[in-house]
Structure 1
Amino acid sequence: MGEAAISTQIIRARVTDQARVWVSAVTIPLLLLAPAFWNGYPLLQWDTGGYLARWYEGYLVPSRSTVFGLYLHYGEDSGFWLDLGIQALATLWILQLTLRVFGMARPWRLLGVSLALILTTALPWLASMLLTDIFAGLAVLSLYLLVLHGDRISAVEKFALFAFTAFAAATHSATLGVLFGLCCLGWIARLLLPGRFDISCLVGGTLTIAAGALMLLAANFALSGQWAWTPGGTGVAFGRMLQDGIVARYLRDHCPQARLKLCPYRDELPATADAFLWGDSMFNTLGRFKGMDDEMGFIVTHSLAEYPLWQAEAALAATAQQLADVATGEGSSDWIPHTYGIIERYIPAQTKPMQAARQQHWGLDFAPVNWIHVPVALGSMLAVFGLFAAAIWRRRLDDLGLLAATVSFALLGNAFICGVISGPHDRYGARMVWVATLTVMIAAFRQFDDDNEVEEDSLPLREEIQHA
């Protein structure tokens, strides 16, 4: 082959690769935001209003991160499309970085994997929604890359992953809890697998948790003037215990001697935590979190001590139920007057486009979507647990085995934290389980891809180029 022909072939290959890169870079974010484009407005959820209000109300409320509230506030002038753009591009970035460290960086692979995730998981709905959930799964991948593949990424990428993971940790306490648990497991694994974990990378990953916590404390101080953690932990835990019947039992055992505010209502407690905390219940009459926080904390602490076996059984059942609750769309297809009211009150310029969206006209029906999403999610979860178990059985924790281990522990940690503290919800499972589907696809590529043949086929051309 002549030198001119070789040069032409090289140029043609480079142009083709560049075209594929641009097609992927443009197509994937647009498809990730397809639900929002179809809706005509970013998707909203019941909790969205609480985050939006943080900038305007200037005080802390349970389970609503001021960091995420600020993030939404800076996207208001764009109709929140800036926020969705950031979420889509962050998803694209972390997906391609994950595939790259597994030697699957070709644009057509990135496009294929992304399309599969978009069609079979909650990922595009998470990316299209004004909610913290998109950052939960991305943060697990980001921490995995930072801790276990720091030697394969550049210094700039490490810094970006550090900042992203810290921000994600600050957006939701459950996300911070999952990441903290993974870091603790990383330090334990370093003792069991000497030489497998670079201590500088593990330190860097751990410091993201500290940075996220400081970020949240600083944002809380900036908006409320208080150096305080986001409130609500005991109240949410109380709601789960109420739902399990533990609160009613405690009140029956101790009222009226305990003289608790809830004693007169011990036979009228709602059946669910959501009905108690967010519905029209005696919780409102008794002053909500401000009036009930001390009493709820007292009941939580003492019921843990008095009914330890019941608490353990309830925690195990809640964790198992949370693992099974993975349907897409919870809290998005219902009427959400609180979020609508916050937008109308504080961001009136967004009222008209918000009200015109399909979501506000009962245009969202997730039943057909979940015919696909739920079996894919459950199957992916079982497959990831199987991959992790197989790696342990073979005593071979390679990069795929460590990814399966990371995702398995993230799923279990997420189920435990969310199920035990908040009570099982589909939303909590859907925001994390798509990472299991990604892991299964990477494993499938590893098993069935014909990379070796492709590489061997290209050797003669490489040798000829070098010779020329």
Structure 2
Amino acid sequence: MVSCKPGRRSITTQTLTARRTGSTWVWISALIIPVLLLAPAIWNGYPLLQYDTGGYLARWYEGYLVPSRSTVFGIYLHYGESSYFWINLGIQALATLWILQLVLRVLGMAQPARLVAISLVLILTTALPWLASMLLTDIFAGLSVLSLFVLVLHGDKISVPEKLLLFVFTAFAGATHSATLAVLLGLCCVGWIVRPLLRGRIAVSGLLQGSLTIVIGAAMLLAANFALSGQLAWTPGGYGVAFGRMMQDGIVARYLRAHCPEQKLKLCPYRDQLPATADDFLWGNSMFNTLGRFKGLDDEMGFIVLHSLAEYPAMQAEAVIVATAQQLIDVATGEGTHGWIPHTYGIIERYMPAQLGPMRAAHQQHWDINFKVINRIHVPVALASMLAVVAILAAGIWRRRLDDITLLAATVSVALLGNAFVCGVISGPHDRYGARMVWIATFVALIAAFRNFADRSGTPEDSFPL
């Protein structure tokens, strides 16, 4: 009995020490990670801006719908305007930290030191801090995939308040961009399809909750559109964006050459002068402006898109495969985030003149950001991470081991492929669309690496220190 007492005191001391250490790591992660996530914006002296930022900023003020510019995200930005948008960046950083730790927690890897280690690697090697530091919807694309994963597959492991907050976050993320909503919808559809094959690994209640976030997200967007514009309508521009991709692939020119003799289309006089890229057509100084932009050409673009799909199925199929494959490897950080974004500058000058000083003084507006150097790290890491996620999924299927890591790898793989399909086929391949999503592949690869190290060392998962 006497010999047991020192042992008990020793265990108690170790437990208290471990708790103090854990508490220290919790505070470190809570304070340091959000700051590091916002390091690009802090260094810049102002939130990072992008080509599309101005369109979102203007939604509150202009009172009409603009193609591909969510009013939900516009309202979100407006309510952070008085803080020079630092409130928005704070929300984005804290949401990132919350969802990263939530994923680790439901996977049984909730050690704070591990969260710090994984977060640091993501911050140093992926686009994550640049996304969190930017006034753009892109940070919510990857986060929503992870939040949907937790909600659908591990909702029983989180509290009711957390589940409600996660539900609202996922719906909001879907409402910020149609492509994000489409990816989430695709994930839910795949979930319903494979559920009978997974022997109860996916609960019906979880899938219902995940699917309901899509409905609420869509309703949120319709309500915001009605509130700001008086129109109960979806965000416009789908046909125009798809038209641009088909024009870039040569399909529009072929259609016009074949049908202009008998069809009186506005674009017929320009059929031999079409720009080489969709960006040049939609956002450059092209005949698109001359013919009234979306308002003047939307019906005609929709007509050509639908008829081209029917008339050239083989050409369309080839373009879809090429665009999806290209989008998968277009993952460089920083597209559209440089010193020449006149529309965004003009919107800030027109509606937020008080912010002109800090905006113009920022490093971005002086061309001080060198993404070429950054992408020497980001691009190889992104491509290697995608290969690693596919390997993790393939190994799980080969071994018939559908553990949580395999299911997470499957979720991310489907999300990456869906994102590449939706963005590459509809809008055409862009690095921005890949970079905003591919960091979650690095996250999965890091989780698998830490789990594998714990298994090899024989350390119990709940006591492994990193």
Give, as a single letter, the amino acid of the residue that structure 2 aligns with 1:36.
A
Aligned to 1:44: 49
Query: Within 1, Cα distance between the matches of 2:48 and 2:180?
Result: 21
Query: Are positions 1:186 and 2:195 aligned together?
Result: no
Residue equivalent to 2:302: 297
Q: 2:82 aligns with which of 66, 77, 82?
A: 77
Shift of 1:8: 4.3
Q: Which residue of 1 aligns with 2:356?
A: 351
- Partner amino acid for 1:183? C
1:267 to 269, 272, 293: 272
Within 1, Cα distance between the matches of 2:177 and 2:234? 12
Q: CA deviation at 1:20?
A: 1.1
CA displacement 1:227-251 (0-9 Å, x = unmatched): 0000000000000000001101111
Given candidates 366, 377, 381, the residue that maps to 1:372 is 377
User: Does 2:362 align with 1:326?
Assistant: no
Shift of 1:457: 12
Kept after mapping to 1: 8 A contact 2:68/2:178: yes
Equivalent position to 2:444, from 433, 439, 444 = 439
What corresponds to 2:3 in structure 1? none
Distance 1:456 1:170, change over 3 A: closer
- CA distance in 2 between counterparts of 1:211 and 1:173 reads 13
> Is residue 241–residue 247 contact of structure 1 (8 Å, CA) maintained in 2?
yes
Equivalent-residue separation in structure 2 for 1:432 and 1:456 (angstroms): 28
In structure 2, relative to structure 1, the CA distance for the partners of 1:120 and 1:8 (3 Å cut) is same
Q: Work out the CA distance in 2 between the residues paired with 1:442 and 1:93.
A: 16
Count of residue correspondences: 459
Does residue 118 (structure 1) correspond to residue 123 (structure 2)? The answer is: yes
Deviation, structure 1 residue 396: 2.1
Partners of 2:389 and 2:413 within 8 A in 1: yes
CA distance in 2, matches of 1:365, 1:75: 28
Alignment check: 8 A CA contact 2:38 2:89 kept: yes
Match runs of 1:136-285 below 5 Å: 136-285=141-290
Aligned counterparts, 1:280-429, within 5 A: 280-429=285-434
CA RMSD of aligned residues (A): 1.6
Q: Following the alignment from structure 2 to structure 1, what is the Cα–Cα distance between the partners of residues 40 and 165?
A: 27
Amino acid at match of 2:280: A
CA shift, 1:389, in A, is 1.7
| Contact 1:333–1:366, Cα closer than 8 Å, also in 2 | no
User: 1:198 & 1:67 partners in 2: Cα distance?
Assistant: 30
- Secondary structure of the equivalent of 1:214? helix
1:30 aligns with 2:26: no
SS at match of 1:418: helix
Say if 1:380 and 1:440, in contact at 8 Å, map to a contact too: yes
Which residue in 2 is equivalent to 1:465? Answer: none
Query: In structure 2, how many angstroms separate the alpha carbons of the residues matched to 1:387 and 1:454?
Result: 21
Letter in 2 for 1:62: P
Q: CA deviation at 1:387?
A: 1.3
TM-score, normalised to structure 1's length? 0.96
**Whole-angstrom CA distance in 2 between matches of 1:334 and 1:419:** 26
Asked if 2 retains the 8 angstrom alpha-carbon contact of 1:407 and 1:435, the reply is yes
CA contact (8 A) 1:147 1:202 kept: yes
State the partner residue of 1:464. none
Distance 1:124 1:256, change over 3 A: same
Q: Give the distance between the partners of 2:444 and 2:28, measured in 1 at CA.
A: 24
Following superposition, the deviation at residue 15 of structure 1 comes to 2.1
Once the two structures are TM-superposed, the CA of residue 390 in structure 1 deviates from its matched residue by 1.8
Separation (CA, whole Å) in 1 of partners of 2:156 and 2:18: 28
Output one character per residue of 1:109-165: Cα deviation in whole Å (capped at 9) or x when no partner.
000000000000000000000000000000000000000111211111111110000
Q: Measure the CA separation in 1 of the matches of 2:69 and 2:44.
A: 25
After alignment, is 192-201 or 231-240 more displaced? 192-201
CA distance in 1, matches of 2:416, 2:13: 49
Kindly provide the amino acid, as one letter, of the partner of residue 429 in structure 2: P
Amino acid at match of 1:171: T
Q: Partner of 1:466 in structure 2?
A: none
- Cα–Cα, structure 1 residues 455 and 249, in superposed 2: closer, same or farther, change >3 Å? closer
The one-letter code sitting in structure 1 at the alignment partner of 2:246 is M
Q: Structure 1 residue 9: deviation in Å? A: 4.0
**In 2, distance between residues paired with 1:4 and 1:300?**
76
Compute the displacement of 1:10 (Å).
Answer: 3.4
Which segments of 5 or more consecutive residues in structure 1 lack a partner in the other structure? 459-468
**Equivalent position to 1:127, from 85, 109, 132:** 132
Specify whether residues 382 and 21 from structure 1 end up closer, same or farther in structure 2 by C-alpha distance, changes over 3 A only: same
How far the C-alpha of 1:2 sits from its partner, in A, is: 6.3
Question: Which residue type is aligned with residue 402 of structure 2?
Answer: L
**What letter corresponds to residue 380 of structure 1 in structure 2?**
S
Between the aligned partners of 1:297 and 1:279, the Cα distance in structure 2 is: 20
Query: 2:309 & 2:381 partners in 1: Cα distance?
Result: 37
Retained in 1: the 8 A contact 2:240–2:302?
yes
Q: Equivalents in 2 of 1:385, 1:12: separation in Å?
A: 40
Q: Which runs of 5+ in 2 are unaligned?
A: 1-5
In structure 1, C-alpha distance between the alignment counterparts of 2:102 and 2:240, rounded to whole Å: 39
Shift in alpha-carbon separation, 1:25–1:303, aligned structure 2, 3 A:
same
Using structure 2 for the length normalisation, give the TM-score: 0.96
The one of 70, 88, 91 aligned to 1:86: 91
- Greater mean alpha carbon deviation, residues 446-455 or residues 320-329: 446-455
Write the letter of the residue equivalent to 2:337.
S
How far off is 1:363 after superposition? 0.9
What percentage of aligned pairs have identical amino acids? 75
Deviation at 1:316, TM superposition (A): 0.4
